[in-house]
Amino acid sequence: MKNVNRFSFIKTTIVGGLIFLVPIIVLIIILSKALGITKPIVRPLVTLITVETVAGIGVATLLAIFVIVMFCFLTGLLAKTDLAKKIINWLELTILSNIPGYTFMKRMSESFAGSDIEQEYKAVLARFDDGWQIAFLIERVEGGYVTVFIPDAPSPWSGSIFIMTEDRIKPIDVPNKAVLKCIQRLGAGSNALLQGRI
C-alpha cells in the first residue's frame, strides 16, 4: 500500500511539474521565434545606429524586443475592440474551453496579472477531518452543497475536485494572486495569508 501511495505521489508530482513547466517552455519558444522573425526586420535600422551593444546586449536584439513589446501593446489595444472580443469569445466557447483546465488557468492568470475583473473563483478553506486545505469555490450546488477545487502544490494548475456541504468551507477573502503564490511556495507565507481567518 505504501508503494502505491509513493508511486501515486511521484506520478502526480511529475505531472504537476510538467503542467507548471509547459506554459513557461511555450512562452520561451514563442519569444525565441518572435526574436528570430523580428531581428531581420530591424537589421536595416541597426546599420543606422553607431552603437553596437547596450549593457552587453546587441542593439539588434534590443530593437527586436522593443518591436515585440510594441506589437503586444497594439494587439492589446486591438483586443479591447468589440470585434476582437467576439472572436475571442467564439474561440473560447468552441475550442479553448475544451482544453482541460483552460478556464481555471485563464481566471487565475487574470488574477495574477492584477486584472480588475471580479474574481470568479473565490479562495476558501475546505475542512477535511481536523485539518483545512486551501481551495477555490467553483460553484454552489443545489441542496446546500458546493463544488471546490483543491490545487496541488507547487503547481496549482492541477488538483482535485470535491463536492461538500457548504458548512465545511470558510471564505478567506484574500486575492487569488496571494493564494497562488502561497501554494507555489509549498505553504510558505501561510501565517500572513491566513492570520485571523481560521
The mean pLDDT of 57-67, rounded to a whole number, is: 78
User: What is the residue type of 116?
Assistant: D
Name the domain count of the chain. Answer: 2
CATH number for the domain harbouring residue 190: 2.30.30
In a domain, 93, yes or no: no
186 and 128 in a common domain: yes
pLDDT at 53 over 60: yes
68 and 128 in a common domain: no
- Interatomic CA distance for residues 54 and 127, integer angstroms: 55
133 and 67 in a common domain: no
pLDDT, one tens digit per residue, over 117-150 is: 445 788 899 998 888 889 999 889 999 999 999 8
In a domain, 186, yes or no: yes
User: What is the residue type of 13?
Assistant: T
In a domain, 104, yes or no: no
- Interatomic CA distance for residues 36 and 28, integer angstroms: 12
The pTM is what? 0.49
pLDDT at 4 over 70: no
pLDDT, one tens digit per residue, over 146-195 is: 999 988 888 777 788 899 999 999 988 888 788 888 888 888 888 888 88
Range of the domain at 134: 122-194
Cell numbers 473563483 label which residue?
Answer: 121
76 and 25 in a common domain: yes
pLDDT at 117: 47
Cell numbers 456541504 label which residue?
Answer: 165
In a domain, 38, yes or no: yes
